[in-house]
């Protein structure tokens, strides 16, 4: 850092602060201006607007951003004029003011050092804007005759309006996590006191016994001829004992009181720390009204966005991840859902379309919906598109139910846009929405009524920080299974276990479920079991269902999720860790992973053992990973390759494939393109960006054989691209051989 220009130039930290402040105030400005646009005669919001512009002006001066200071100043003038009643904002005025607000955001330095400075405004542009704003305050043309003074609205005091947001501070996630960790520890520490108090009660009891013994002794001495000093000692001893008992009783009750206080305090601290992980829903949706408005204008549509459940508490991690999917759904609704005013009137609807964004807590989940009263999805057209995009044959497409057809909307790269515009339909499908929901352990559903609208319903966990889990013992240690991912929990007498071809089964819902020992899946030493019954946790994924035999069930509890230490890397079958109430560590099971591991173990080809074998005889067999979400395709490819002498392992989707490549040592990966959670392109991209994996050859295999698909596959770094029909051609095996043989 050079020190010469240091005096005047504000440092990066100050600029960062400024950026943060501008972002906060711009949100207020946008909200206020949009409110004014809807109801032009209310003046209640003007104070907030004025204050926001004023704050930016002051802050801009501190960091020497003269342009931003000027713009903010001009905005403030406009608001002051409006408040004094000399100016009444028209739609055109609001437009100009909004442009001013945008300019402020552009003038604030990018929040990330690496961020490209969004088109730095030219001074001419700023000049033009300033004169537009000046025009609002003192119109050059003859001012319109002063309209009737607007009805007097009581100005809310200069203090922040009730219900206005608290000051928002930026705190790093790491700090919050530390806070939560310490709060959890203080909760654990407070649990130490009750047993300690209990132990003091024992002391109290033995003192009581001592005192009674003295009394008995004294009674039995009555009537006997005693020397005088014995009686004196005796009485002194009794007094002493009584004093001790009193003191102890007092101290004990004080301690109990303190214990109770400490307990309550620790509990409240813990809850408060947890709550600091939550933010109101509105914090994450501030930009949407403006986005919807601008988009609707561009398309000459009339759209109103209603946001309900603004104060619904949402986990900050989830809120952050919601932004992209929600923005996508809203854009979709404006572009494809809401019709033009003429179309709407012709259909007997009001000209203005309504999009409703709602967040609420429902059944312990966060329910978010995006609904519109537009034209709904055209199922017939979707069917057509499924056929033209070669996702299914015409017969299959006809046989699909409406609900199944709608499901195609969520496939990667399935776009309904008839034309690719700048606004939507850039080939980004609704898969963004689904993959986000699935990543956090939620789901998404759609409902559509042709001609009347479309709705997207997201069900998400309330928080990622806390998970309700079943604790079970495996290998003598506690493991936590997230309740949301459990199928069933069973206690089955040994006699109910059926044995068939070396495998054990129990019957669940009239279906045989194969059993597997949890300690074997986890590769840990078995613990002791003496119970009469088997403790079984039934887990499933889209393909398989297994009964995991644990040693015993322990408890059901809420756990605060601690991400695994980064130094450990990915541990198979484990998603995170947590602390139990007594402070002991517990590992949280990654259910998807666990089901796959169980499948691999039961298919008699545990990859872990295989890996050891391969390391021993490194050059013997080449190892190939086949990634495909279709069981049939996986099995087909596996057989084909195994016949050629390759050691083949399989993964059911891109995410699983990604986990597998990081753990195993493969010579080749063959992957499908369209898969849930993580598609083939993304898998290839990740592999090619990984330092350790970048030289691992990858073959993409897809239903889509169009040249542009091939190009995209090669562009992301795949070594070869085959359509599924080509897999049984000799050239496929030749390619495999060539790629595997490479040093």
Q: Which residues here bind other proteins, judged by CB under 8 A?
A: 178, 180-185, 188-189, 192, 196, 199, 475, 477-478, 522-524, 562, 564-565, 567-569, 571-574, 577, 579, 583-587, 608
Question: Which of residues 562 and 638 has its CB atom nearest to other proteins in the complex?
Answer: 562
Tell me how far, at minimum, the Cβ of 186 lies from other proteins, in Å.
8
- Give the nearest distance from C-beta 102 to other proteins in angstroms: 41
Looking at the Cβ atoms of 550 and 684, the one nearer to other proteins is 550
The smaller minimum CB distance to other proteins, of residues 451 and 664, is found at: 664
Nearer to other proteins, 378 or 477 (CB): 477
Task: Tell which phi-psi region holds residue 309, choosing left (phi > 0), alpha (psi between -120 and 50) or beta.
Answer: left
Q: Nearer Cβ to other proteins, position 31 or 473? A: 473
User: Which residues, 6+ apart, have CB-to-CB distance to 107 below 8 Å?
Assistant: 60, 65, 67, 68, 71, 121
Shortest CB 590 distance to other proteins, Å: 11
Q: At what angle do helices 12-38 and 91-107 cross, to 10 degrees?
A: 170
Cα–Cα distance, 624 to 688 (Å, whole number): 17
Distance of closest approach, residue 114 Cβ to other proteins, in angstroms: 23
Q: How far is the CB of 512 from other proteins (least distance, A)?
A: 27
Distances in Å between the alpha carbon of 511 and those of 492, 503, 506, 508?
15, 15, 8, 5
Phi-psi region of 553 (alpha: psi -120 to 50; beta: other; left: phi over 0): beta
Shortest distance (Å) from residue 551 CB to other proteins: 14
Residues 182 and 270: their CA atoms lie apart, in Å, by 9
Give the span between the Cα atoms of 80 and 78, in whole angstroms: 5
Query: Which residue, 434 or 562, has its beta carbon nearer to other proteins?
Result: 562
Radius of gyration of the chain (CA): 35
Centroid of chain to Cα 242: 62
Pick 288 or 479: Cβ nearer other proteins: 479
Alpha-carbon separation of residue 425 from 166, 331, 416, 598 (angstroms): 38, 10, 7, 40
Nearest Cα residue to 734 out of 716, 712, 714, 719 = 719
CB of 195 to other proteins, least distance (A): 8
- Residues 514-551: b if buried by 16+ CB within 10 A, e if exposed: bbbbbbbbbeeeeeeeeeeebbbbbbbbeebbbbbbbb
Give which of 578, 544, 575, 584 is closest to 561, Cα–Cα. 578
In the bound state with other proteins, the residue whose beta carbon lies nearer, of 336 and 562, is 562
Q: Which is nearer to other proteins, 371 or 597 (CB)?
A: 597
Residue partners of 522: CB distance under 8 A and separation at least 6 = 474, 475, 479, 573
Question: Residue 445 or 611: which CB sits closer to other proteins?
Answer: 611
Sheet holding 503-508, edge to edge: 488-493, 533-540, 545-550, 511-517, 503-508, 498-500
DSSP secondary structure code for residue 336 in this structure: I
Report CA-CA distances (Å) from 574 to 480, 482, 564, 594.
10, 11, 9, 8
**Kindly report the CA angle at 737 between 736 and 741, in degrees rounded to 5?**
120
Pairing state between β 585-589 and 477-482 = parallel
- Closest approach, Cβ 675 to other proteins, in A, equals 25
Query: Distance between CA atoms of 535 and 472, rounded to whole angstroms?
Result: 9
Nearer to other proteins, 313 or 587 (CB): 587
Complex with other proteins: residue 183 or 718, whichever CB lies closer: 183
> Cβ closer to other proteins: 148 or 616?
616
Question: Which of 5, 199 has the CB closer to other proteins?
Answer: 199
Closer CB to other proteins, 186 or 390, in the complex: 186
CB 678 to other proteins: min, Å: 22
Which CB sits closer to other proteins, 545 or 562? 562
**Whole-number Å distance between alpha carbons of 59 and 48:** 16
CB of 282 to other proteins, least distance (A): 32
Q: What is the closest distance, in whole angstroms, from the C-beta atom of residue 525 to other proteins in the complex?
A: 9
Name, in order, each residue with C-beta under 8 angstroms of 11's C-beta and a sequence gap of 6 or more: none
- For other proteins, which is the closer residue by CB, 498 or 612? 612
3-state secondary structure of 440: coil
Minimal distance, residue 608 CB to other proteins, in Å: 7
**Paired tokens of 710:** 């091939």
Q: To the nearest whole angstrom, how small is the minimum distance from the Cβ of residue 176 to other proteins?
A: 13
E strand or H helix at 43: none
d(CA 462, CA 479) in angstroms, rounded, equals 22
Of 531, 483, 480, 538, give the one whose Cα is nearest residue 505.
Answer: 538
Contact 518, 536 (CB under 8 A): no
Closest contact distance (angstroms) between CB of 570 and other proteins is 10
CA atoms within 13 A of residue 729's CA, in its CB half-sphere? 9
Closest approach of other proteins to the CB of residue 720, in Å: 31
User: Could you give the 3-state DSSP secondary structure of residue 699?
Assistant: strand
Judge contact between 701 and 723, C-beta under 8 A: yes
Complex with other proteins: residue 397 or 601, whichever CB lies closer: 601
Query: 121 with 103: CB under 8 angstroms?
Result: yes
Q: Min. distance of Cβ 743 from other proteins in angstroms?
A: 25
Shortest distance, CB of residue 601 to other proteins, whole angstroms? 12
Minimum distance of other proteins from residue 91's CB (angstroms):
55
């Amino acid at each position: 850092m050079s020190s010469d220009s240091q005096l005047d130039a504000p440092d990066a930290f100050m600029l960062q602060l400024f950026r943060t402040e501008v972002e906060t105030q711009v949100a207020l400005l946008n909200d206020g201006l949009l409110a004014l646009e809807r109801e032009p005669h209310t003046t209640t919001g003007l104070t907030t607007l004025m204050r926001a512009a004023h704050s930016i002006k002051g802050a801009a001066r501190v960091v020497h951003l003269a342009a931003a200071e000027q713009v903010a100043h001009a905005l403030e003038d406009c608001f002051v004029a409006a408040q004094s009643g000399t100016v009444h904002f028209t739609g055109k005025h609001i437009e100009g003011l909004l442009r001013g607000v945008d300019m402020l955001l552009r003038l604030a330095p990018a929040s990330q050092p690496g961020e490209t400075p969004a088109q730095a405004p030219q001074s001419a542009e700023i000049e033009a804007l300033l004169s537009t704003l000046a025009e609002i305050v003192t119109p050059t043309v003859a001012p319109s005759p002063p309209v009737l003074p607007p009805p007097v609205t009581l100005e809310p005091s200069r203090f922040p309006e009730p219900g206005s947001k608290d000051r928002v501070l930026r705190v790093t996630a790491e700090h919050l996590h530390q806070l939560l960790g310490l709060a959890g520890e203080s909760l654990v520490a407070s649990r130490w006191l009750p047993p300690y108090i209990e132990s003091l009660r024992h002391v109290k009891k033995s003192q009581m016994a001592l005192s009674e013994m003295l009394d008995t002794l004294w009674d039995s001495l009555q009537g006997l001829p005693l020397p005088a000093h014995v009686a004196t000692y005796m009485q002194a001893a009794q007094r002493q004992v009584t004093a001790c008992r009193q003191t102890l009783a007092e101290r004990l009750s004080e301690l109990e009181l303190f214990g109770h206080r400490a307990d309550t305090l620790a509990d409240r601290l813990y809850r408060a720390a947890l709550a600091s992980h939550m933010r109101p829903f509105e914090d994450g949706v501030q930009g949407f009204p403006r986005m919807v408005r601008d988009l609707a204008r561009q398309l000459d549509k009339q759209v109103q966005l209603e946001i309900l459940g603004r104060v619904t508490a949402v986990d900050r991690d989830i809120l952050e991840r919601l932004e992209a999917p929600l923005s996508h759904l809203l854009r979709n609704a404006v572009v494809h859902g809401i019709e033009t005013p003429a179309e709407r009137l012709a259909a007997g609807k009001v000209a203005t379309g309504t999009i409703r964004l709602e967040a609420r807590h429902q059944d312990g989940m966060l329910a978010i919906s995006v609904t519109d009263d537009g034209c709904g999805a055209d199922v017939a057209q979707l069917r057509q598109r499924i056929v033209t995009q070669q996702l299914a044959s015409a017969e299959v497409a006809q046989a699909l139910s409406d609900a199944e057809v709608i499901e195609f909307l969520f496939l990667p790269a399935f776009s309904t846009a008839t034309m690719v515009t700048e606004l939507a339909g850039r080939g980004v499908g609704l898969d963004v929405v689904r993959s986000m929901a699935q990543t956090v352990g939620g789901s998404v559903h759609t409902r559509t009524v042709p001609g009347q609208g479309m709705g997207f319903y997201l069900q998400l966990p309330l928080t990622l920080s806390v998970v309700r889990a079943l604790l079970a013992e495996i290998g003598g240690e506690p493991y936590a299974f997230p309740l949301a991912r459990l199928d069933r929990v069973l206690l089955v007498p040994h006699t109910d276990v059926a044995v068939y071809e070396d495998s054990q089964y129990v019957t669940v819902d009239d279906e045989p479920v194969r059993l597997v020992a949890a300690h074997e899946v986890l590769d840990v030493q078995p613990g002791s079991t003496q119970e009469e019954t088997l403790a079984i946790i039934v887990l499933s994924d889209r393909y398989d269902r297994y009964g995991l035999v644990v040693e015993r069930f322990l408890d059901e509890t809420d756990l605060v999720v601690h991400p695994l230490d980064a130094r450990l890397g990915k541990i198979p079958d484990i998603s995170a860790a947590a602390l139990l109430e007594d402070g002991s560590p517990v590992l949280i099971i990654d259910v998807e992973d666990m089901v796959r591991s169980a499948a691999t173990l039961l298919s008699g080809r545990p990859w872990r053992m295989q890996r050891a074998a391969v390391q021993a005889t490194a050059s013997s067999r080449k190892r190939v990973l086949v990634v495909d979400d279709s069981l049939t395709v996986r099995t087909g490819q596996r057989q084909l390759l195994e016949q050629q002498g390759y050691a083949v392992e399989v993964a059911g989707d891109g995410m699983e494939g990604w986990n597998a490549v990081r753990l195993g040592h493969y010579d080749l990966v063959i992957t499908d393109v369209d898969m849930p959670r993580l598609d083939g392109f993304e898998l290839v991209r990740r592999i090619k960006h990984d330092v350790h994996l970048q030289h691992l050859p990858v073959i993409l295999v897809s239903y889509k054989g169009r040249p542009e698909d091939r190009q995209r596959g090669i562009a992301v770094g795949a070594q070869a691209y085959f359509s599924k029909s080509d897999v049984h051609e000799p050239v496929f095996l030749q390619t495999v051989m060539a790629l595997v043989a490479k040093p």
